[in-house]
Amino acid sequence: MTDYNIYRGQDGSIDYDTIVATMTDLDDDVEIAVQALGAGEIWHYVRRQLSECLLESDPSPACIVAIDGAGDMIPDRPNVPDSVALEVRAAGTLRARWRYSDLDQEIGPTGFRVYAAALGAALDFGTPAATVLYYQGGNRQFYTDLAGLTDGTRYRACVRAYATAGGETANINEVSAVARSSGPATLTYLNATQEAV
């Protein structure tokens, strides 16, 4: 059986003078009692393996615990979707399109929630305009159509990834576009030329 000492700190600075808990490799989890975790704080926990001579190994990768403004723990979250865009379609429809990278993610997403509102109105993060399930593989591009929009009105939208067993990302990439009843104009003339290289 292997024993471990657990330490914690903030901003990557771990307090190795204070052991906050101990565990063995047979423990699935460990409870750390009497913790002061203030609202808006981020804590890093690491463990060090003890040898038979009670020497400690290098620390494990940090487990990050984030506390929100209400003092509650923020669960692991997927990565933030990127390359978010709104494309104008016909019949008062805007197509929200984005990409997702799972590189170094805390937890895999269950899906994505698209939030939209007319410019000047608040986004309602309790009611998504659309939900799209995540799938692995492929080119990691996702999209959904937002239909029934008012012609000539500018809408703004953002996409958040969420995990059923974790949290939801904060919106960073917000985009906007004007809905049109007719959609983009059709190309009537296309010319191609050839040039010697």
Q: Which of 21-30, 79-88, 115-124 has the lowest mean pLDDT?
A: 21-30
27, pLDDT greater than 70: yes
Burial of 75 (0-12, 13-18, 19+ CB in 10 A): middle
Band of pLDDT at residue 48, cut at 50, 70 and 90: very high
- Stretch 105-118: mean pLDDT: 91
Task: Break the chain down into helix, strand, coil percent, rounded to 5.
Answer: 0, 40, 60
pLDDT of 41: 76
Span 117-130, pLDDT tens digits: 999 999 898 899 99
Please state, as a whole number, how many other Cβ atoms lie within 10 Å of the Cβ of residue 80: 19
| Coil, helix or strand at residue 116 | strand
Span 175-190, pLDDT tens digits: 999 999 886 666 566 6
The answer, as to whether pTM is greater than 0.85, is no
Please state, as a whole number, how many other Cβ atoms lie within 10 Å of the Cβ of residue 5: 20
Q: Which of 136, 180, 175, 139 is nearest to 159 (CA)?
A: 175
